[in-house]
Amino acid sequence: NEQDSIFIDVPLEKIPAAEGVEDTAEQYKPVTLKQCLDNLTAAEKVDLTCSACGSTDGFSKQSLFKTFPEILVVNARKMTVVNWVPIKVDVPVLVPDEPFLLDGYLSKGLQPSEEELPEEPETQTPAFVPDATALAQLE
């Protein structure tokens, strides 16, 4: 997937209100851009059945960069849900003034200890067939 922008989820950790202070606005701990990139590229366990061997042990996957664009646009998602309504929260994301290396986020390709999953043949979704009885009721 080729893109020159990414969306990063910002971890939301509330700062407890000090005793005796009646501040209605919730405050959140600042996070660094590096923390957000670490979360984006962290390995995660995926529960699925292997189409090749039928194993249900699960797999781990990790998203890394194949190449870096000349300019990388980073969108920080700072959202939470309150009463089923998405709300943008004020979480400080600290971006260093100095450039930092992104080499740790670069993929080294398929490793000797890794095995690529086989390509699965694309299955066609069955054509929609309306229920004749239900269709007759609509007429």
Instruction: Supply 47's token pair.
Output: 């529960």
pTM (predicted TM-score): 0.71
Is there a contact between 31 and 12 (Cβ–Cβ < 8 Å)? no
> How many C-beta neighbours within 10 Å does residue 84 have?
5
d(CA 89, CA 113): 41
d(CA 23, CA 17): 8
d(CA 111, CA 114): 5
**Full pLDDT tens readout for the chain, 139 residues:** 567 889 999 999 988 877 776 666 788 999 999 999 999 999 999 888 777 777 778 788 889 999 988 888 999 999 989 899 999 999 999 999 998 889 999 999 888 888 777 777 777 777 888 888 988 888 7
> Quick check: helix, strand or coil at residue 124?
coil
